[in-house]
Amino acid sequence: MAGLTSGAEWFKIPPSQRKEKTAAIKFYVQEPRTGPDAALTEVCGGKDTANSPTLFSKVFVVNAKLTAEADRNSAEVGFAQGLVTSADKVQAGLAMNVNVLFTTGEYKGSTISIVGRNLGMEIPDRELAIVGGTGMFRMAKGFAISNTYSHDPVENYMIFEYTLYVCYYE
């Protein structure tokens, strides 16, 4: 985040004097579902969750490694951290509130906040909203497209492909 000014200094510059920039950022979310490195942990469920075909009201905390390539062993570029809740009684609809934290490269230390409804791994091109960010991505907006890249049911391991289309101000 070289050259990033403090929040107070940054905020003094009127938006009309800022240059809007855009970026398309692609990464893969590595999500082992079991074992000591599980990226998804159930924290609670409602009284009727066990009887619900959609696991309605089940809440998970996620802390999944992000990589630049789909390979499980490729280098880390960050983490997806947040809450995922089963929020639909009829179909597998998830309410997502996830922060993307970049730990390497030009975006190191910056975050992008993603929220929205995710209708499950069978549906391609799931769209979520980018509603903000920090560091380089202050006042970010845009959208994210999520796809299931692979699912290994034997190892209970999932890889999701994300492409973020983000607008932010310099």
Residue 12: pLDDT over 90: no
Work out the average pLDDT over 2-16: 77
What are the domain boundaries of the chain?
28-169
Query: So what's the pLDDT on residue 1?
Result: 52
Confidence tier at 3 by pLDDT (50, 70, 90): low
**Helix (H), strand (E), coil (C) string for the chain:** CCCCCCHHHHHHCCHHHCCEEEEEEEEEEEEECCCCCCCEEEEECCCCHHHCCCCCCCEEEEEEEEECCCCCCCCEEEEEEEEEEECCCCCCCEEEEEEEEECCHHHCCCEEEEEEEECCCCCCCEEEEEEEEEHHHCCCEEEEEEEEEEEECCCCEEEEEEEEEEEEEC
Say which range, 86-95, 110-119, 136-145, has the weakest mean pLDDT. 86-95
For the segment 129-164, what is each residue's pLDDT rounded down to a tens digit? 999 999 999 999 999 999 999 999 999 999 999 999
47 versus 108: the higher-pLDDT residue is 108
| The CATH number of domain 28-169 is 2.40.480.10 | yes
Report pLDDT for 6: 79
pLDDT value at position 123? 85
Average pLDDT, the chain: 92
Residue 5: per-residue pLDDT: 73
